[in-house]
Structures are given as structure tokens and as C-alpha cells.
A and B are shown apart, each in its own frame.
Chain A
Amino acid sequence: MDCNEFNFLVHAYVDDELDERERVETEVHLGACDTCRSKARRVSRFRQALRESYEPETAPDSLKVRLVAALEAQSHVEAQQAEAASASGPAPVVPLDTMREATRRPSTGTNRWLLAGGGLAAAAAVALLVTAVFSSGASEDASPTIAPSGTARAERPQSRNMGYEPIVRESVSWHRRQVPIEITGPDDARVNHWFQGKVDFKVKTPRFDRRGDGDVNLLGARLSNVREKQAAYVVYEVDGSKVSVLIFDRNEKVPDSAARAGERGFYNAGGYNVAVVEEQGVTYSITSDLSREDHVQLVNAAFRPK
């Protein structure tokens, strides 16, 4: 290890986040290098000073009182739901604000406890949000249903495309979220270049402007992952709608014939249209809330079978 390498590892070393071998290599270097030793000391002292000076707040009692009331109300609602469900048919949908009403902060006078939209819409929004957050977990019962929305252009061999459902699900989950971007558009060459060395495959952002009309704007991109594989996440604005694309290498051999045919599947999940396209060994998953017709047109213009 040299000083350059150490420069980068110093934080991870101080945080005790190195694996055994890296730690040993680092300590060997530290034993021989005064400069790096003093740097490590500085970072370590800073971190320590930060932690020692910081006095974390405790939650105010008023919040705890409201929390207990809200949780008891929610628990009561759940008990009633369970009762109703065992008595007959499906459980009634109970809007979140039933319990929120009970615990609204008296001083504000406004509906601070209601989510924007209120009522059923709010309850649904929460359910969707949480589904999005936990969709990687074991239980996916609340996930949006995914239905292939018909094939377009090429016939899809079912055996391979069975693998698309999790991709579609993750694409919708990414699409729904507001995530920070790491590189801004609209220069696609610059965005493509930014991914060099960050992902293992060559990123070529789709050219939706090939559609020839309307307003297409590459907003930006960031690193992400799909099925635990690294991916490029690219966000566009098309005719005022958000269009997001996940680009990744599935590391699965796609038959040349399929790749040549520009194989693609169209899906609808959670109200979004999703297209999965294989091109030159790379998988593209395109999600939007455009109409199905516009979505298909957009995708087919950007990915033309050769």
C-alpha cells in the first residue's frame, strides 16, 4: 500500500469498516509512514470530537403521548377489521384519518395530520409508499399486480421472459421514488461518459428524441441496482411526464436472433407502463405514466430492431 491508496482508505480505516486483509495492509503502512499516521489521527480525532460533543435530543413527552394515543387507535381499528373479516367477507377499508382525527394536535387547527389528498387516497398512498420501500422483502402480497400488456413487434419466448416480472416490479419502485441524481442532463454523451468505470457495461442512454416530435428532455442519471446488479438509472421528461430507464447487464446469454429482433415485452404494473428491451447484451427497462399507446411508440422509436 502507498500513501495514495491510504488517502482513500483512511476514513474506512478509522470507521473500522475495512476487511481483515485491508486493515492489516493499512497498519503495515501506518507503521512506516508518519504522514499517513498523522492523517489517520486527525480523521479519528475529528470523528471522536463530533461524537463526543453531540448531544442528541430526546423526543418530547407531548409527542410520546400523541404516539401512544395514535397507536392505540390504530390497534383498535385493526382489531375491528380482524373481527369484521372473520365475520364476513373482505375487511372494510379504514381510512388512515380515522385514527388521525383522534390524535390531531389541538393547537394547529388545520389538518396537519392528514396526508395531502386525505381519506382513502392518503391511505392508498401510504400503502404504495411502504410497498415501494419494502418490495425487496420476503412478503410481496401488497405489490401491484403485473400484467403483460400484449406483445409488440416481436413474439416473446415465454421461458425467458418469465424473468421480467421482478425487473418490472423494481422498475416501478424506482420510478415512483424521488431519488437524488448524480449527473445532470441534457447532454447524453456526458451522461454516458459519467458511467464509465462506474458500471461494468457500456451505458448508452436511449434516444427518445428519435420519435421526431414532442418534447424530450434528459434530466439526469444516477447509479442504482436491479436484482442486486449494478444499473444506470436515467430520468427523462417526455411531454411533461416522467420517463425513467434502468439499464443493466443481466449477464444472461440472449440468443442473437432475439437481440437482432430487438426483443421486448410491455407490461402494466401499479398504473405504470413498463417496457423491457434487450439490445446488444444490455437490458433496458423503461417506465412511464404515459398512455400505453404513447409509451409503446416512444420505446419503439428509440429501439429499432435491426
Chain B
Amino acid sequence: MTAVGMELEVAGSDKMRAFNEEALIHVDALFGVALRLTKNERDAEDLVQDTLLKAFTHFGKYKRGTNCKAWLFKIQTNTFINRYRKKSREKVFLVDDRDHRPLQDRAVAPKRNILEDGAEDEGDWYQKIFSDDVKSALEEIPTDFRMVVLLADLYDFSYKETAEIVGCPIGTVMSRLYRGRRLLAAKLVDHAVNSGYIKHDPRVDIEDENGDVQKVVEFKRRRRKRSG
């Protein structure tokens, strides 16, 4: 975390005070995620303002002392999906009118991936990752994957919280997160190769892409069996 912005303070009622303490403290995190989702500052500011106004209006429904951050991100995610998605014309949700393959096929990671199959001594490239590279790589991967990587990897939400925020089962969060990481790693390796940080593309063949979703299902089933 770098610069500390000005203190946010809304004077007034008890509701205001509680809102200050529990909700407004998350404005930076909301803005950071909003910026990656909308990809521009103006829309990000609008998204955060709309999110916090909605949260304020419905603050009565929020149970004090529970997970306010997750509650806010849920509002923001829904607001984004319902409004900004339409504007940005990003073809990720519901039906893509140019591409009728299923979502998971459209967003397939390269078959070779350094995350799973890189050689040990190629680890150096990790040290050459810069914040701006990560940000632009993130903005290049599909929204569904970007969202879970942002929430789980960069904003410290658990799988369960991420599932609640995004509104999908934990298994879906898991497969999106893993695939999102692979997509991201692939972009970053491309970038590192192009910039000459690493000499050879360290990726080798093997990854079984299509097995992934099925594995998540099997994993969930195993868990259920065990707990049930």
C-alpha cells in the first residue's frame, strides 16, 4: 500500500458513524477492484459511488459486525454486472453472440503452463514481475476469471467469501481461480519473453485442460461424502 488518501468522514447520525467505521474504510479496496473491472477511472469512480450509496441506503439490512467488506463487494460486483457490463460490451456473460462455444472453452489457458510445468531454474522470472505488468495482464483475461483472481489473490478473500461475492458455488470459484492464474501466468510469461527477461519459453507440454472442471466436481463430491 502506498499513499494514504484523505480521511473519509461523514458527520451526523449514528447510522453515519457506523457507516464510517464499517463501510467507508473499504473505499480504497472497492476502488482498486472497480478500476480493474471497468478499466478506466471515470467508470470506476461511478461504480464505487453507486456501490456505497446503495450500501448506505440498505445499511439497515447489513448486520453490524459481520463481514462488511464482503457485503460491499457483493453489491459492487452485482452493480458492475448489471450496469457496466452492458456498457463495456465485453462478451463474457450470458450469451456471446460472436462465439457460441461454452465459456470454459473460450477462455482456455495455453496447454503449456509454467505454473504447473515450468523448470525449477526458470523461477527467476517471478522476480521480474512488475505491478503494471500484472495490471495489464489482468485486464486482458476474461472478466469472470479476473474477478476471482482479484478477490482471492489480491484482496485476500477466502474461497467461500469469493463465492458469495460472485454468486456462484465454491467449486466454480476454484476452477475459475486456477484457470485465471494459469491465464495470468501465461500472459506474464509472454511478456517476460517479449521483454527479454527470460531467454526461452519455459513452458512444456502436458496440462490436461478439460480435466479441470471435472476434477473440481470430483473434489467437491469427495468433500461432500466425507462431511455427510
Give the interface of A toward B (CB within 8 A). 7-12, 15, 17, 19, 21, 38-39, 41-43, 45-51, 53-64, 66-68, 70-72, 74-75, 78-79, 96, 99, 112-113, 115, 126, 129-130, 132-134, 137-139, 177-184, 194, 197-198, 219-220, 223, 225, 230, 235
Total residue contacts A-B, CB cutoff 8 A:
214
Contact, CB under 8 Å: B129 / A15? no
B22 within 8 A of A: no
Instruction: Please report the C-alpha to C-alpha distance between residue A99 and residue B54 in the assembled complex, in whole angstroms.
Output: 12
Contact, CB under 8 Å: A130 / B158? no
Chain A, residue nearest B104 (CB)? A182
B198 within 8 A of A: no
Contact, CB under 8 Å: A57 / B184? no
Chain B, residue nearest A191 (CB)? B102
Instruction: Please report the C-alpha to C-alpha distance between residue A179 and residue B78 in the assembled complex, in whole angstroms.
Output: 10
**What residues on B are CB-neighbors of A178 within 8 Å?**
81-82, 85, 93-94
Q: Give the distance to chain B from A21, nearest Cβ to Cβ, in Å.
A: 8
**What residues on A are CB-neighbors of B63 within 8 Å?**
138
B146 within 8 A of A: no
Contact, CB under 8 Å: B31 / A183? no
Contact of A42 among B79, B102, B118, B216 (CB under 8 A): B118
Q: Knowing A8-B215, A134-B61, say if A60 contacts B45 (CB, 8 Å).
A: yes
Binary contact readout B21-50 vs A (1 if CB under 8 angstroms, 0 otherwise): 000100111111001000001000110110
Q: Knowing A64-B8, A71-B16, A197-B217, say if A54 contacts B134 (CB, 8 Å).
A: yes
Q: Knowing A61-B6, A184-B100, say if A42 contacts B56 (CB, 8 Å).
A: no
Instruction: Please report the C-alpha to C-alpha distance between residue A198 and residue B123 in the assembled complex, in whole angstroms.
Output: 36
CB contacts under 8 Å to A, within B204-228, are 214-219, 223, 226
Instruction: Please report the C-alpha to C-alpha distance between residue A200 and residue B182 in the assembled complex, in whole angstroms.
Output: 30
Q: Give the distance to chain A from B15, nearest Cβ to Cβ, in Å.
A: 7
Binary contact readout B70-101 vs A (1 if CB under 8 angstroms, 0 otherwise): 00001100110111010000001111000011
Contact of A71 among B6, B52, B159, B171 (CB under 8 A): B52
Contact, CB under 8 Å: A43 / B115? yes
Q: Give the distance to chain A from B187, nearest Cβ to Cβ, in Å.
A: 12
B103 within 8 A of A: yes
Q: Give the distance to chain A from B119, nearest Cβ to Cβ, in Å.
A: 9
Contact, CB under 8 Å: A68 / B169? no
Contact, CB under 8 Å: B115 / A181? no
Contact, CB under 8 Å: B49 / A67? yes
Q: A58-B3, A113-B46 are in contact. List 4 more A-B contacts (CB 8 A).
A: A11-B174, A64-B8, A66-B49, A75-B15
Instruction: Please report the C-alpha to C-alpha distance between residue A19 and residue B145 in the assembled complex, in whole angstroms.
Output: 24
Q: Knowing A57-B31, A74-B56, say if A220 contacts B75 (CB, 8 Å).
A: no
